[in-house]
Amino acid sequence: MAPYLLAIDNGSQSTKATIFDARGHAVASARRRLLPYDTTVPGHAVHPGDDIWDSIAEACRDVMDQFAGDRAGIAAVGLCTIRFCRALLAADGSLTEPVLSWMDERVSRPYAPGSPRTRYVTTSSGYIAHRLTGQFVDAAANYQGVWPIEADTATWSSDPAAYAATGMPRDMLFDLVPPGGLLGSVTAAAAQATGIPAGLPVYATANDKAVEALGCGLEDDGTVLLSLGTYIAAMTIGASSASTDGSYWANFAARPGTYLYESTGIRRGMWMVSWYRTVLDGAPEDALNAAASALAPGSNGLLTVPDWLAPTDAAWRRGALLGFDGSQGRAHIYRSLLEGIALTMANNTAAMEQALGHRLSPVLVSGGGSRSDLMMQIVADVFGRPARRTTVNDAAGLGAAVCAAVGHGVYPDWGQATAAMVADGERFAPDARAARAYQQINTVYAGLTSLTDPLFRSMADGLAGLDRA
């Protein structure tokens, strides 16, 4: 009997649990929304209560209930969680405070001791791995940001200065395993909470973007992946742990020994689109897509600056919709939001391409935004190259299943696992006329922030003065 693989994909807005067969086909799936971040303390953004674990436990119970096959056929679990989070744990592995989100300003600073109960500092995956297995072990490739880790080896640093600089002594950190490495086995307590059979092995993956890239089939340095999630980024594969300039940065990929090169991104990308639908009282997405598809490129002169959450290096920035003249309606605004995302990411990708010295084509597209035919066509037209969507809605889940398949020996290596489990999706060719229109639009759009930045700086200074008055 071919084995099944349970993939846990905990993202910024929801947790997905999916059971895949050995060919990468989803046979059961469940999703649980995460609660809104608690941002009541300025600069802080935390997952309220024990929300990450609760959402994982609920999604796993649901998917196990939906699974019509023999549970004995489920061979292993692949665990993928949100990157850049920080979890502070007591000696028994319980939280001493809620998990810090990637948007919390504290995760970009060294650890500062707080609760005297805190014994360990780990990531979201380290915390969940302990909840599932009882082991103090974590995925090495989920350590991005302020940690004393060696980027070339994905191991803890041998330099005492690295621990002093991050405020994290070695004895506060979990042991590390590479992608596909064994984290432990599901405990009886975790089985009762999640419905996952006790004793199933749990395998490490990587940071969620890298696992998503694996599930999309991003395997070479000539292709680019556009990830249309809460955080939007363009990514490709490389062999160096360091970037050549500031147009991209390198982080661990989901295949050991490789790196994911990631462009400058959009911090509240598809969230911005969801926000707009909420403003319209939940307007049906299909209706918005249909109306916006009938419009010409450029949304009748409406341009979007998609900084609904400012970059960390330009905290004064704001999002903007520019060019209203009374002729535009809700569909124009909707299309402009999508175009602003595509234009921004095409320019960010071009900067990364220049640094790498080669063109990246085709464009793989994943995430919730890839389900829209309109968004896919806009991406193809703006980038001026073929765009291909993934075959599964949860590419990170599939990537987690691939990691579990390799770790458990379902396939002997990464190449055979991805060849068997990852398939090409629908392809969108650029429309020549639309591509030319976007080239012309981009002659204005590419320089837009040089005009809006002084305005936003002035607004920030003025509002700060008002607050002090």
pLDDT in tens, 178-209: 999 999 999 999 999 999 999 999 999 999 99
Q: Is residue 438 part of a domain?
A: yes
Residue 136 confidence (pLDDT) above 70? yes
Query: pTM of this prediction?
Result: 0.90
8 Å CB contact between 34 and 96: no
Do 45 and 81 sit in the same domain of this protein?
yes
Q: Is residue 424 part of a domain?
A: no
The mean predicted confidence, pLDDT, of the chain is: 95
Do 308 and 349 sit in the same domain of this protein?
yes
Question: Domain range spanning residue 46?
Answer: 4-204
Per residue in 205-256, pLDDT (tens digit) is 999 999 999 999 998 899 999 999 888 999 999 999 999 999 999 999 999 9
Q: How confident is the model at residue 392 (pLDDT cuts 50, 70, 90)?
A: confident
Whole-number Cα distances in Å, 49 to 133, 192, 288, 458: 21, 20, 36, 38
For residues 291-304, average pLDDT: 98
Q: Could you give the percent of the chain with pLDDT greater than 70?
A: 99
Q: Is residue 413 part of a domain?
A: no
8 Å CB contact between 344 and 338: no
DSSP 90-115: -TTS-BSSPPBPTTSGGGGS------
Confidence at residue 468, expressed as pLDDT on a 0 to 100 scale: 52
Do 187 and 243 sit in the same domain of this protein?
no
Do 271 and 159 sit in the same domain of this protein?
no
Confidence at residue 51, expressed as pLDDT on a 0 to 100 scale: 98
Q: Is residue 245 part of a domain?
A: yes
- Among 441, 292, 430, smallest CA distance to 363 is for 430
8 Å CB contact between 193 and 59: no
Q: How confident is the model at residue 166 (pLDDT cuts 50, 70, 90)?
A: very high
As a whole number of angstroms, the distance between CA 152 and CA 84 comes to 19
Domain boundary among 183, 204, 225: 204
Do 136 and 239 sit in the same domain of this protein?
no
Q: Is residue 343 part of a domain?
A: yes
Do 78 and 32 sit in the same domain of this protein?
yes
Do 189 and 330 sit in the same domain of this protein?
no
Q: Is residue 396 part of a domain?
A: no
Do 458 and 313 sit in the same domain of this protein?
yes
Residue 469 confidence (pLDDT) above 60? no
- Among 86, 81, 70, 258, smallest CA distance to 168 is for 86
Domain count, the chain: 2
Domain boundary among 147, 175, 204: 204
Confidence at residue 126, expressed as pLDDT on a 0 to 100 scale: 98
CATH code of the domain containing 106: 3.30.420.40
Residue 465 confidence (pLDDT) above 70? no
Per residue in 307-356, pLDDT (tens digit) is 999 988 899 999 999 999 999 999 999 999 999 999 999 999 999 999 99
Q: Is residue 420 part of a domain?
A: no
Q: Is residue 426 part of a domain?
A: no
Residue 467 confidence (pLDDT) above 60? no
**Least confident range of 20-24, 213-217, 312-316, 436-440:** 312-316
Do 146 and 54 sit in the same domain of this protein?
yes
Confidence at residue 230, expressed as pLDDT on a 0 to 100 scale: 86
The answer for residues whose C-beta is within 8 angstroms of residue 162's C-beta and 6 or more apart is 148
**Least confident range of 32-41, 310-319, 419-428:** 310-319
Do 193 and 242 sit in the same domain of this protein?
no
Q: How confident is the model at residue 38 (pLDDT cuts 50, 70, 90)?
A: very high
Dig out the tokens for 404 from the structure: 């579990």
Give the best-scoring range by mean pLDDT among 1-10, 32-41, 280-289.
Answer: 32-41
Per residue in 53-96, pLDDT (tens digit) is 999 999 999 999 999 999 999 999 999 999 999 999 999 999 99
Do 338 and 190 sit in the same domain of this protein?
no
Q: Which amino acid is located at 177 in the chain?
A: V
Domain boundary among 149, 172, 204: 204
Do 84 and 125 sit in the same domain of this protein?
yes
